[in-house]
């Protein structure tokens, strides 16, 4: 069965009895109560952060009151540096304090951090309550809100504690991107860019033509970027929900990127910024493995740079930079028996997961930092 079908506005992720829709529209938060995919309950909790809450919290709560007699809202501190146990516990505190039962619906209103933590809380609270993703950043709309990966960071590794837990519905309101800071928009473009090299070179060519319009927030251009990204992700997730094989290709640039995030300290580099530099490193590694040519590496580097993203990776340790990267990358969910496996480009438009000799990885780190 093909894992995705779609109408003009809606995509469907086909996961049997856990299938759900992804709605991509403008100005739809205020009408969210009309969506058929919303779970039934007498109670809802909106989880957001201190940046997004003042912008869209009241609007979402007002809409949900048409469906749920009781609607609570919780604002978490904003930022990747707060994606840990203590913040997660604030969600459980709110649920327990308000006497929320196992039918309570959680709504994640915000970026990837809010979505990951709310989904993880939903997976854990009373062993599982329904949740809905309402992503308000480009990065969350094209990547983290779709596919059911939830979790928190640990000081030793990013997203190392979590669960696969699918939302009941994803509502991407494109109008929320109007309030997104420039740096966050660029960070989101990293996750759009990755879909080209791993799956769809036509999409990469389209991005090369559309990059100025994307950065200028042309609504119709953003709509296509979000929809096509979600289509590709849905196609992959529908075949490999729990990342036993194919789904790992979605981590192109992420092994290096996660090392940058952990090594710099969470929040210093945004996730998308780290992935941008990480994709350049992964492309360079692919070239040294004889899988792509220098022209492809330069083409990808140029696109990443035009998106406003860093293409040069940071030095994490002046004494032994490559050693520090390798140490951090061994704490990676794709590592097996201490062997780091990288998503490489096996010819443009196709990705492969492969172990690489440390010596070669060291060369790439020395070249790219």
Q: How many CB atoms lie within 10 A of CB 110?
A: 32
Catalytic-labelled residue, pool 158, 227, 271, 287: 271
The backbone torsions φ and ψ at residue 91, rounded to the nearest 5 degrees and listed phi first, read: -70, -45
d(CA 79, CA 84): 11
Q: Is 243 a catalytic residue?
A: yes
Catalytic-labelled residue, pool 258, 333, 334, 341: 258
Catalytic-labelled residue, pool 72, 83, 158, 247: 247
Q: Is 233 a catalytic residue?
A: yes
DSSP states along 249-278: GGGTTHHHHHHHHHHH-BTTB-HHHHHHHH
| Helix ranges, the chain (H) | 58-64, 85-97, 112-124, 138-139, 182-193, 195-199, 201-215, 219-239, 254-264, 271-288, 294-306, 321-329, 358-368
List of long-range contacts for 57-61, beta carbons under 8 Å, 24+ apart: 57/109, 59/29, 59/30, 60/29, 60/32, 60/107, 60/109, 60/134
Bridge partners, residue 10, by sequence: 23
Q: Which SS3 state, helix, strand or coil, does residue 309 take?
A: coil
Catalytic-labelled residue, pool 21, 75, 80, 191: 191
Q: Is 271 a catalytic residue?
A: yes
Q: Is 75 a catalytic residue?
A: no
When computed from its CA atoms, the radius of gyration of the chain, rounded to whole angstroms, is: 20
Catalytic-labelled residue, pool 49, 251, 273, 341: 251
Catalytic-labelled residue, pool 243, 261, 273, 284: 243
Catalytic-labelled residue, pool 72, 82, 83, 149: 149
**Cβ 113 vs Cβ 48: under 8 Å:** no
Q: Is 194 a catalytic residue?
A: no
Catalytic-labelled residue, pool 254, 299, 333, 334: 254
Catalytic-labelled residue, pool 72, 233, 287, 301: 233
Choose among 185, 186, 169: nearest CA to 177.
185
**Cβ 174 vs Cβ 24: under 8 Å:** yes
Q: Is 258 a catalytic residue?
A: yes
Q: Is 287 a catalytic residue?
A: no
DSSP assignment, residue 339? B
Q: Is 67 a catalytic residue?
A: no
d(CA 83, CA 350): 32
Residues noted as catalytic? 127, 149, 191, 233, 243, 247, 251, 254, 258, 271
């Amino acid at each position: 069965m093909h894992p995705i079908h779609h109408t003009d506005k809606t995509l469907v992720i086909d996961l049997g009895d856990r299938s759900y829709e992804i709605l991509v529209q403008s100005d739809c938060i205020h009408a969210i109560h009309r969506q058929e995919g919303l779970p039934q309950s007498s109670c809802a909790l909106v989880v957001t952060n201190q940046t997004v809450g003042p912008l869209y919290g009241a609007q979402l709560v007002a809409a949900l009151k048409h469906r749920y007699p009781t609607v609570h809202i919780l604002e978490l501190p904003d930022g990747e540096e707060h994606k840990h146990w203590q913040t997660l516990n604030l969600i459980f505190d709110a649920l327990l304090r308000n006497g929320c039962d196992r039918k309570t619906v959680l709504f994640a209103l915000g970026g990837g951090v809010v979505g990951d933590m709310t989904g993880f809380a939903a997976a854990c609270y009373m062993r599982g309550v329904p949740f809905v993703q309402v992503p308000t950043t480009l990065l969350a709309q094209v990547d983290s809100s779709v596919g059911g990966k939830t979790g928190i960071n640990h000081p030793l590794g990013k997203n190392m504690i979590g669960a696969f837990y699918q939302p009941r519905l994803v509502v991407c309101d494109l109008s929320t991107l109007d309030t997104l800071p420039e740096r966050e928009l660029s960070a989101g473009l990293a996750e759009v860019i990755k879909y080209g090299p791993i799956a769809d070179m036509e999409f990469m060519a389209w991005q090369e033509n559309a990059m100025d319009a994307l950065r200028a927030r042309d609504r119709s251009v953003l709509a296509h970027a979000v929809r096509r990204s979600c289509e590709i992700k849905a196609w992959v997730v529908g075949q490999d929900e729990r990342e036993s094989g194919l789904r790992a290709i979605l981590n192109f640039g992420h092994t290096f990127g996660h090392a940058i995030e952990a090594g710099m300290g969470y929040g210093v580099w945004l996730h998308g910024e780290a992935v941008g530099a990480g994709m350049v490193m992964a492309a360079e590694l692919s070239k040294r493995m004889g899988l792509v040519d220098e022209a492809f590496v330069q083409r990808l580097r140029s696109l990443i740079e035009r998106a406003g993203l860093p293409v040069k990776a940071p030095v994490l340790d002046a004494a032994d930079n490559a050693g520090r990267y390798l140490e951090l990358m061994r704490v990676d969910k794709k590592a097996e028996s201490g062997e780091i496996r990288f998503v490489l480009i096996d010819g443009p438009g196709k990705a492969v997961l492969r172990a690489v000799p440390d010596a070669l990885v060291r060369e790439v780190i020395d070249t790219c930092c």
